Amino acid sequence: MKILAIESSCDETAVAVVENGRKALSDCIASQVALHRVYGGVVPEIASRKHIEAIYPLADEALKTAGVTRKDIDAVAVTYAPGLIGAVLVGVNFAKAAAFSLSVPLIPVHHIRGHIAANYLADPELAPPFLCLAVSGGHTMLVHVKDYTEMEILGGTRDDAAGECFDKIARVLGMPYPGGAALDRAAQTGDGTKYPLPRAQVDGNPLDLSFSGLKTAAINLIHNAAQKGETVDVPSLCAAVCAAVSEALVSRTELALAQTGCKTLAVAGGVAANSRIRADVLALAQRRGLRLCLPPLSLCGDNAAMIGAQGYYEFLAGNVADQTLNAYATKSVLGEAL
C-alpha cells in the first residue's frame, strides 16, 4: 500500500510516499527555518503562507522522486493535530483535496504518533509493545506504545518541553533559531560540571518532568554574569544544560521501563538528535540490556515519511476520516474521536 503523506504543522512543509508503513520511497522537505530565523522564532502567519506556496510542487516532487504517479497512490495521510492551526490547516485541506480527487481514503495522523512511527522506518523489525521517549519542541512525554494505535502516556512535562528549554536558553545566548542544535554543538567542547544547574522533582507522578526551573536558572546565570561584567563559559553552560535535560529524561525513562517491564526502548522527536541524550540513552540500553531504537537525525526532526508510517497503521485500525476532517491546534496523542 502506497501512502502519500503530508506534514505542515510547524515550519517544515513535507511530503513523502511511504510503502506499507515501513519504507519511504520519497521524503521531501521544504524548510522555512531560514525565513523565521530573523524573527527569532516561527511567525505563524508567514508559516501558513509559505506552506501554501510549497505544498503543491513538493507533492509533485515526492511522487517523482518515488517513481510513482498519482494513480499509484492508495491513500493520503496527513498531520491533523497538534500544531500551529493555520499551518496544520494547509496540510489538511491539501490532503482532503488530494484524497477526494484520487478517490482514496483520507487518514488523519497525530503529529507525535508520527514521531513515534519514525522508528518503524528506522528499524523495520520494530513492533509494539515498547516504551517511547518522545521529545520535541512542543512535547516531552513517555509513551507506552502497547500497539500501533494503542498508547498510554506514563508521564510528561508539566511546563516547558525539552526543546523549548533548549531553544529559549540558546536564544538568550545569541544563537540563531532554533537553537537546540547550535547549543548541542557548543556543548561539545564544554565542561558539563562547571555550572551546577537544578534538577527538578515534581510532586505526584514520579514520571513527570519540569524544565521551566532549569530554563530560568540558566537564563538568570547569563543575565547575572552580564550585569557583573563577567563572561560566561558558553560551551560549559551548554554542556551543563544538556546534562541536566538528559539526566531528567533518562532517569524517568529508567523508571518507566521498570514500571512497564518493557525491554524495548524507542526515542523520537527533534530533541532525540541531541548528542548527550543519544549517548545517555545508549548507555542506559547497554546497562539494562535493552533493544534500543534511536532513529538517524534525518528521522528525528519533522518529516512526512513518519506520518506515512503511522498513517498505514491508522488505516489498518480503521481510523480514516471523511471530508469533514478538521485541523486542531491541540489534541491528545491517545487519539480521541474526531
Residues of this chain that bind ligand KG4 (CB under 6 A): 10, 136-138, 163, 166-167, 178-181, 184, 269-271, 273-274, 301-302
Choose the one of ligand KG4, Zn ion, none that binds residue 184, judging by a C-beta under 5 to 8 angstroms depending on kind.
Answer: ligand KG4
Angstrom distances, CA of residue 233 to CA of 178, 189, 190, 230, 237: 21, 10, 8, 10, 6
Q: Which amino acid is at 310?
A: Q
Smallest distance from Zn ion to CB 82, Å: 10
Closer to Zn ion by Cβ: residue 285 or 307: 307
* Chain-centre distance for alpha carbon 221: 29
10 Å CB burial of residue 134 (0-12, 13-18, 19+) is: buried
Residue 93 CB, shortest distance to Zn ion, in Å, is 20
- The interface partner of residue 155, options being Zn ion, ligand KG4, none and the CB cut-off 5 to 8 Å by kind, is none
**Pick from Zn ion, ligand KG4, none: which does 178 bind, CB < 5 to 8 A by kind?**
ligand KG4
Strand partners, 78: 6, 108
Helix (H) or strand (E) holding 35: helix 33-37
- Whole-number minimum distance, CB 69 to Zn ion, in Å? 29
At 271, phi and psi to the nearest 5? -70, -15
174: its cell numbers = 545569541
Tell me the closest approach of the beta carbon of residue 191 to ligand KG4, in angstroms.
18
Q: Which is nearer to ligand KG4, 41 or 206 (CB)?
A: 41
Which of ligand KG4, Zn ion, none lies near 128, with the C-beta cut-off 5 to 8 A by kind? none
Question: Does the bond joining 178 to the residue before it have cis omega, within 30 degrees of 0?
Answer: yes
**Residue 311 interacting partner from Zn ion, ligand KG4, none (CB closer than 5 to 8 Å by kind):** none
Residue 108 beta carbon to ligand KG4: minimum distance, rounded to whole angstroms = 17
Instruction: Tell me the backbone φ, ψ of residue 123, rounded to 5 degrees.
Output: -135, 90
Residue 2 or 215: which CB sits closer to ligand KG4?
215
As a whole number of Å, the end-to-end CA separation of the chain is 24
Shortest distance (Å) from residue 183 CB to ligand KG4: 6
Binding-residue pattern over the window 263 to 302 for Zn ion, x denoting contact by CB under 5 A: ---------------------------------------x
155 or 178, CB closer to ligand KG4? 178
Kindly tell me which of 59 and 170 has the beta carbon lying closer to ligand KG4.
170
Beta-bridge partners for 134? 141, 268
DSSP string, 145-206: EEETTEEEEEEEBSS--HHHHHHHHHHHTTPPSSTHHHHHHHHTTS-TTSS-------SS-T
Nearer to Zn ion, 109 or 285 (CB): 109
Instruction: Provide, rounded to whole angstroms, the least separation between the CB of residue 275 and ligand KG4.
Output: 7
We find the least distance from the C-beta atom of residue 188 to ligand KG4, in angstroms, to be 11
Inter-CA distances, 118 with 12, 260, 299, Å: 16, 22, 6
Scan residues 133-152 and list those touching Zn ion (CB under 5 A): 136
The residue among 73 and 266 lying less far from ligand KG4, judged by its C-beta, is 266
Q: Look up residue 149 and give its amino acid.
A: T
Spatial strand order in the sheet of 12-19: 23-31, 12-19, 2-7, 75-81, 106-110
27 binds, among ligand KG4, Zn ion, none (CB under 5 to 8 A by kind): none
The alpha carbon torsion through 29, 35, 37, 40 (nearest 10 deg) reads: -110
CB of residue 244 to ligand KG4, shortest distance in Å:
13
Query: Rule CB under 5 A: which of 216-245 touch Zn ion?
Result: none
Question: 136 vs 140, which CB is nearer to Zn ion?
Answer: 136
Residues that bind Zn ion (CB under 5 A): 136, 302
